[in-house]
Chain A
Amino acid sequence: MRRRGWLYALPVVIFAALAAAFFYGLQIDSNTLPSALIDQPAPRFELPPLPGHEPGFSSADLAGHVSLVNTFASWCTPCRAEHPVLQALAATKRVPIYGIDYKDKQDAALAWIAALGNPYTRIGADDGRVGIDWGVYGVPETFVVDRAGRIRYKHVGPLTQADLDRTILPLVAQFEK
């Protein structure tokens, strides 16, 4: 049996391999799905405005400059958490932020904007169909769209200042070159 001594080490090796695999798996955020639309042209759409915030938002608005497209809704708690970050970004006038008000009630959306401020260059009210064209599966989601109107990056979940500083703004600068 001596020549099979390595067999005794096998359970330890298997355990170590499994532990490593599981540890690696823990780092993966399974809530964030890869977007199928990266490097694809942004969908064509024309969204009506929220009353008092005319005009609405259409795909033509995205041409010629780098922009952020942010989906939000008044019923979405993480959007509320994200809102001050968007307000601060809008104040710097670094990059236009376009808003898609996703499956929202008009009154609630207007009250939300009135209470928290409007960081958006334009807002379109979406009943959910344009969201599907953007591959939205929850709010908030934020897209970086390049000058040619292609979707280049998608952020799922509320944006933090760190997300902006580390990822979004460097990408904006890169696509503006």
Chain B
Amino acid sequence: MTVAEGTVIVVPAKAETHFSAARASDWWIPAFAGMTKPLVRRIFFGLVLLLAIIAGLSPAQAVRPDEMLADPALEARAREVSRDLRCLVCRNQSIDDSDADLAHDLRVLVRERVTVGDSNEQVIAFVRARYGDFVLLRPPFAIGTALLWGGPLLVLLLGGLVIARFYRRRDEAAPPPLSPEERQRLSALLAEEDGSR
């Protein structure tokens, strides 16, 4: 956009004061320069603390000690299976994460099946037969889930097409190279300019 001469551009006064109050030089130039200022330091440590809290918020374990199997290998397998099964009460948690009563029952069931010698796949099939595909946190590839699984690829493909089109158009739009006559004229003009300096 070009601004016609004589146009008065009004900048709200507030924007100005806001900017100066923040002391732009402290904020944006070397990160450490501002660290001597108490406010900035406080914000910095606040952020570090926040990150630490977020990191500490990894999903709490719902598995109760009395559910656990004595055999660590079987228990590990039960945990592995549990992480792939959706809690149907809370929907977006696995039964391994959920405190719901049904999740507790299913965890016990998974441990029972593992104990009697089912493979991981057999345990999952057992639960799936009762609750359907919805119980799987990793949905199987089917017609109904094709878009879900193929979506990222589709987006990648579309993006590639857009980029390819952009470059093709740019190449087409580029002016044709100079003809020998034009080249001659250009060097003549350039020489003339050099001479006049």
Contact = CB atoms under 8 A, between A and B. Distances in A.
A103 B89 CA distance: 15
Given A33-B88, A137-B88, A132 B132 contact: no
Nearest to B129: A36
A21 to B, nearest CB: 12
Interface in A116-131: 128-129
Counting contact residues on chain B (CB < 8 A from A), the size range is: 10 to 19
Nearest to B135: A36
Given A33-B88, A132-B109, A137 B101 contact: no
Main secondary structure of the interface of B (DSSP, over half): helix
Contacts of B109: 129, 132
Contacts of B63: none
Given A33-B88, A137-B89, A138-B89, A128 B130 contact: no
A133 interface: yes
Interface in B65-114: 88-89, 101-102, 105-106, 109
Contacts of A33: 88, 131-132, 134
A27 B128 CA distance: 27
A133 B130 contact: yes
A47 interface: no
A36 B101 contact: no
Contact of A34 (B105, B106, B134): B134
A33 B90 CA distance: 13
Interface residues of A, number: 14
Main secondary structure of the interface of A (DSSP, over half): loop
Contacts of A85: none
B128 A36 contact: yes
Contacts of B130: 36-37, 132-135
B162 to A, nearest CB: 14
22 contacts: A33-B131, A33-B132, A33-B134, A34-B132, A34-B134, A36-B129, A36-B131, A36-B132, A36-B133, A37-B130, A128-B101, A128-B102, A128-B105, A129-B109, A132-B102, A132-B106, A132-B109, A133-B130, A135-B132, A137-B102, A137-B131, A138-B89
Interface of A: 33-37, 103, 128-129, 132-135, 137-138
